[in-house]
Amino acid sequence: MSLDRDWDSIRPDRGLRAAEAGMGLLRITLLFGSAIVALALVAATLLDSETRSLLSARDDAAGLDMAATGSIDHRVTYTVRRSVLQSLPGSVCIIRSDGTSSGDC
């Protein structure tokens, strides 16, 4: 028993406290979490540039805007025309298959 008391007099904090273990775990979690977020940001940028270069290399996708919004009936066909000669820059002329038109034509 005297050996235990001698060790306690030299180093009284032999046991690991729960607060120290919790702070260490928090630091490790923050370190790896921030590394994963940084890696995800870099990977997303690289993958986006790769996708754009692959799509622009294809002949059938050249000149197409890949963003699509809205919905239309699949049986209806129409033509959308925009021109720099129209009164407003955002004006659109829609010509349906039956010849009727709407918008700024």
Q: What local confidence, expressed as pLDDT, does residue 99 receive?
A: 84
Specify the residue for token string 């820059």: 89
Global pTM value: 0.36
Q: What local confidence, expressed as pLDDT, does residue 88 receive?
A: 79
Question: pLDDT tens for residues 13-40?
Answer: 655 565 666 778 888 999 999 999 999 9
How would you class 93 by CB atoms within 10 Å of its CB: exposed for 0-12, middle for 13-18, buried for 19 or more? middle
pLDDT tier at 69, thresholds 50, 70, 90: low
Q: How many other CB atoms sit within 10 Å of the CB of residue 103? A: 13
